[in-house]
Structure 1
Amino acid sequence: MDWDKLRIFHAVADAGSLTAAGDTLHLSQSAVSRQIRGLEEQLNTTLFHRHARGLILTEQGELLFDATRAMTKRLDAASARIRDSEEEVFGELRVTSTVGFGMLWLAPRLSRLYDRYPDLNLDLILEERVLDLPMREADVAIRMKEPAQADLVRKKLLSIRMALFATREYLDRHGAPEDERQIGQHRLICQHPNAIQVAAGAQLVQGLMTHGVPNVLWVNNYFGVGQAVVNHLGIGILPNYMAGDDPRLIRVLPEVESGEVPVFLAYPEELRSSKRVGAFRDFVTEEITAARRAGALDG
């Protein structure tokens, strides 16, 4: 099968337009159209439904687009490995993490990474969905559990626990609970039970709710919980690494915390020799070591 035709097909399917694909490929609309017709004749099938607003893939077109998308991701991975310098760290690195860890812990530290590697371009993908690393949805992942996918290099970074936090202003105004039962006298800020989250955090919320909490502020990620807490809205459930990262946060009832949550860094086996991946891995490891020495991390 003609790769050039497949490349043009992929661009058209991705753009949904002959004109847009032509602009991307620096080809005329008529040249793109001829290549698509030639591919359809070669495969003896129709790949696009054509209408005034653009192009829509047929069922056969969807099958071919899935294949070209996988091929493109593999080629991108190979290209990244080829471009990796022997001595320099540069280019794009796609890092995925949960919203909470990415915004509360990772993002505030990235200036030090950029100081060291000014030619590195990070694409930070923050979401709770587990991206497919072997399929190149991201290069590196930081996850709150050990990855189950095969062909991944994985490294345990640390263990965290979910704990209770409030601000001094809130505690001065409403009083600090002396034991877990007094949580029922405060507004609790936490992730909704139906939100994607670590099981240990959900279990802690479930246990605290047995104390008759009269008012709850539900948020769908820990960054939002943190913002609500620092604005004095109540007592929030946050990762324990926040104790050393934000001076506005005061640990409440230190004996009340969740079970351990392991944090793993993972990347595809094919990127084991990548200078970009190695630089990011080493940076995160060094930051965690420094936080431990400063007493801001437990495990």
Structure 2
Amino acid sequence: MKMLDWDKLRIFHTAAESGSFTHAAEKLGMSQSAVSRQISALEDDLGLKLFIRHARGLVLTEVGEQLFRTAHRMHWELQQVETQMSESQDIPTGPLIVTTTVGIGSTWLSSRLDEFLKLYPLIQLEIRLNDAELDLAMREADVAIRLHRPNQSEMIQRKLFTVHNHFYASNSYVDENGMPSSAEDLDNHRIISFGEPVPSYLGDINYLERMGRSDSSPRRAALRVNAIYGMMQACRAGIGIAMLPAYVTEKEDGLVQVLPEIELPAYEAYFVYPPALKNSKRVGVFRDFLVSKAREWSF
């Protein structure tokens, strides 16, 4: 077998990410036929098929998946080297891909990014919101804000804050239905729960169903929504009472706390990144920015 040509691997990597030769050609500034020829030549070099081609696009074969993972790591590491070489001593520069949950990313994080980008205009920030965790070890993102300690022991972590939960209702709901006076009184109210499956990092987010009830007879939710932000929107619309993390409600003036004297489950938020980025200026300034914002945050 011939030694693999990096230029062909680069084209293969782009095609695999794009899902079609047409989109890959657009990204690479090549013709579709040139991309197809390079992929065919790479398959000839390997003596293996990398893609199953059909009308709706490209599907990687098993060996194609393996090669893509390797090419993706190589592509990421080359990007990091290029960025490190371009970063000056004083000014962090280059791309930074951040992943976190939809809930915290669309509220607490997004409301603070304008200040960060004004401080560091040469950092090209990309936020990937996904309630399913992206794999930092596989370079699916550079850094993450996790709502639990990282499962991979080699990852570097920095605690940001404790996420406190509270019961909330809208002013309109309280005006119409009154304020519950006890946990037992919740039986007389509509509640909003998180839909199945509940991510493990959210802990006992459906505590409203069980509080003050036996395990065999939980309250029935009037509405289930499989997103924290969606639960908040439903709560704000007056549908019912919801248990929500403080990060999603900090700018919501239309919500009031219900039964604030009850202590509710809490969990920790962490900034996480791989050891390979330990000395990255971009990661360092973003970490320090988030830590400073977490200290300022009143929750």
1:73 aligns with 2:76: yes
**Structure 1 alignment gaps of length 5 or more:** none
* Consecutive aligned runs of 4 or more in structure 1 exceeding 6 Å deviation: 51-54
SS of the residue 2:288 aligns to: helix
Distance 1:215 1:222 in 2: 15
More deviation, 201-210/159-168: 201-210
Distance 1:240 1:37 in 2: 53
CA apart distance, 1:97: 1.1
CA apart distance, 1:109: 2.0
For the structure 1 residues 55 and 147, does the alpha-carbon distance in structure 2 shift closer, same or farther, using more than 3 Å as the test? closer
CA displacement 1:79-133 (0-9 Å, x = unmatched): 3333333212343221111111112211122222233223333211111111111
Distance 1:103 1:21 in 2: 30
Q: Which residue of 2 aligns with 1:166?
A: 169
CA apart distance, 1:288: 1.6
Q: Which residue of 2 aligns with 1:89?
A: 92
For the structure 1 residues 140 and 169, does the alpha-carbon distance in structure 2 shift closer, same or farther, using more than 3 Å as the test? same
Taking structure 2 as the reference length, what is the TM-score of the superposition?
0.84
- AA aligned to 2:233 is Q
More deviation, 25-34/105-114: 25-34
Of 126, 147, 152, the residue aligned with 1:149 is 152
Q: Which residue of 2 aligns with 1:120?
A: 123
Of 278, 283, 287, the residue aligned with 1:277 is 283
Is 1:92–1:121's contact at 8 Å kept on the other side of the alignment?
A: yes
Is 1:192–1:218's contact at 8 Å kept on the other side of the alignment?
A: yes
Is 1:203–1:258's contact at 8 Å kept on the other side of the alignment?
A: no
For the structure 1 residues 117 and 16, does the alpha-carbon distance in structure 2 shift closer, same or farther, using more than 3 Å as the test? closer
- AA aligned to 1:131 is L
For the structure 1 residues 67 and 232, does the alpha-carbon distance in structure 2 shift closer, same or farther, using more than 3 Å as the test? same
CA apart distance, 1:227: 1.0
Q: Which residue of 2 aligns with 1:134?
A: 137
More deviation, 104-113/28-37: 28-37
Of 219, 235, 241, the residue aligned with 1:235 is 241
Is 1:164–1:257's contact at 8 Å kept on the other side of the alignment?
A: no
Identical aligned pairs, as a percentage? 39
CA displacement 1:268-287 (0-9 Å, x = unmatched): 11212222212221221111
Taking structure 1 as the reference length, what is the TM-score of the superposition?
0.84
For the structure 1 residues 254 and 4, does the alpha-carbon distance in structure 2 shift closer, same or farther, using more than 3 Å as the test? same
When the two chains are superposed, the root-mean-square deviation of aligned CA atoms in Å is 2.8
1:200 aligns with 2:203: yes
Q: What is the number of equivalent residue pairs in this alignment?
A: 293
Is 2:83–2:93's contact at 8 Å kept on the other side of the alignment?
A: no
CA displacement 1:48-103 (0-9 Å, x = unmatched): 45667766544443433333233223323333333333212343221111111112
